[in-house]
Amino acid sequence: MLAGAGLAAGCASGPDERVAADDGRMALADSDAAFGYESTDWETPFWERWIARARSDAAEADEQTAASQRSARRGAATVAAASSDSSHAIDAAAATGMQPRIGVYIAPESRGSLAAYRLINALDRRAADHGIALVKPGELDDAVAGTDACPADTAQECPKLLSIFPGVRLLVVLDPGQSRAGSASVETRMLDTDFGVEYDTSSTTLEFDRADADEAGAPGSDVAVWSEHLLDLAADRLAIAPWFTHTFALTEDEDMYVSAGRESGLTVGDTLIVHGEGSVVRAPGGRPVAWNPGAEDGRVRVTQLVGRNVAVVEHVSGRRPDPRDRLTLAP
């Protein structure tokens, strides 16, 4: 059976409470070192190890594929407008058909456990059905390695950096705990990397069966119910803002890389609108309930897809964006 505490409710901590509860780590990671191309050491950027391979992969995306993706986005928007269904699978990406990314982090010493394997597989199998793209622990580690943008040692301590690259909107930190007799107690923390919110930690006891290992959580099993519930909750929290991305580095031609690509739903020719901070609307308890992007500061256009999760954009009008800005998809 599945026993849980607090996963559904998930109240948000205010900024002061969050910093105190996290020993100041989020405040440290939120430093200005994560922003700006000049202040950060990009001499050996973390994406350089795979950028060449990603470029060759991008060559496969011809105009027919791009047209197909645009058609799919229009279809998603039409379904969202016509449907009265409030399912979370539509909430996160309904307006544009775009897929926000969530990162799942498990401490290295716990990743080799069977429980960790089952949890990651269950989330990975179901994420797309909720309009979400999943970023696994190894990719999060790569993002913080070899950069001075965050002075911490682990990805979970660098939420602001992860919001910029690899473009994680929510960071889910899992602690599978000690597995015994076919069960495990899983602690879950969820952080909104862009808006600086840390939701309450929950603890859930999961019973595993053989099918969980073979099928990434058989329908109706504890792992399946847990993963569906967590992804529903993530989609609900993502729905406070439209899809957006960030620039994270400059190309040799002074164009910009953005931390979104084919997997997110971008296509060559898409226009992105540059926004500054905008304004966050909060409930009386401090939980963000909406983000108002505010005025348009500029525009950029996608000129190239670099692998699945990176694109090159050129400046079109207005102010050139920096990593602090949020870029939304133009209608």
Is 8 among the domain residues? Answer: yes
For residue 83, tell me if it sits in a domain. Answer: no
Residue 230 lies in a domain: yes
pLDDT digits (tens, 9 = 90+) for 115-164: 899 899 999 999 999 999 999 999 999 988 877 778 787 899 999 999 99
| Residue 311 forms part of a structural domain | yes
Distance CA 12, CA 199 (A): 4
Q: Are residues 102 and 166 in the same domain?
A: yes
Q: So what's the pLDDT on residue 271?
A: 98
Question: Do 73 and 115 fall within a single domain?
Answer: yes
Neighbouring C-alpha atoms within 13 Å toward the C-beta of 43: 2
Is 303 found in the same domain as 195?
A: no
Kindly state whether residues 156 and 200 are assigned to the same domain. Answer: yes
Based on the number of CB atoms within 10 Å of its own CB, is 152 exposed (0-12), middle (13-18) or buried (19 or more)? middle
Residues 104 and 183 in one domain: yes
Domain assignment present for 299: yes
Tally helices (H) and strands (E) across the chain.
10, 16
Give yes or no: residues 98 and 207 share one domain: yes
Kindly state whether residues 254 and 119 are assigned to the same domain. no
220: left (phi over 0), alpha (psi -120 to 50) or beta: left
Position 226 confidence tier, pLDDT thresholds 50, 70, 90: very high
Of 238, 265, 280, which residue is a domain's last?
A: 238
Cα dihedral 171/173/10/203 (nearest 10):
170
The CATH number given to whatever domain includes residue 259 is 2.40.30
Q: Classify 102 as helix, strand or coil.
A: strand
Asked if residue 288 belongs to a domain, the reply is yes
Domain boundary among 238, 260, 279: 238
Q: Cα–Cα distance between 204 and 7 in angstroms, integer?
A: 8
Domain assignment of residue 32, yes or no: yes
Reported as a pLDDT band with limits 50, 70 and 90, residue 17 is: very low
Residue-wise pLDDT for 194-204, tens only, equals: 998 899 899 98
pLDDT of amino acid 216: 54
One domain, residues 134 and 263: no
The answer to the question of residue 82 being in a domain is: no
**Do 221 and 274 lie in a common domain?**
no
| Tokens, residue 146 | 């070899």
Choose among 141, 138, 202, 140: nearest CA to 174: 202
pLDDT at residue 90 greater than cutoff 60: no
The per-residue pLDDT for range 229-252, each reduced to its tens digit, is 999 999 999 999 999 999 998 888
Q: Are 319 and 298 in contact (CB under 8 A)?
A: yes
Q: Which phi and psi (to 5°) does residue 162 adopt?
A: -65, -30
Q: Check whether 103 has a pLDDT greater than 80.
A: yes
Nearest-10 crossing angle of helices 114-126, 222-238: 50
Percentages helix, strand, coil for the chain (3-state, rounded to 5) are 30, 25, 40
Residues 69 and 109 in one domain: yes
Which of residues 209, 238, 267 is at a domain's end?
A: 238
Backbone angles phi, psi at 187, to 5 degrees: -95, 135
The domain in which residue 58 lies consists of 3-39+46-77+88-238
Question: Do 177 and 121 share a structural domain?
Answer: yes
- Of 76 and 285, more confident: 285
pLDDT, tens digit, for every residue of 275-293?
998 999 988 988 888 999 9
Distance of CA 83 to the CA centre of its chain: 26
Domain count, the chain: 2
Q: Where are the alpha helices (DSSP H) in the chain?
A: 15-21, 25-29, 51-58, 63-82, 88-91, 114-126, 137-144, 159-164, 210-215, 222-238
154 with 224, same domain: the answer is: yes
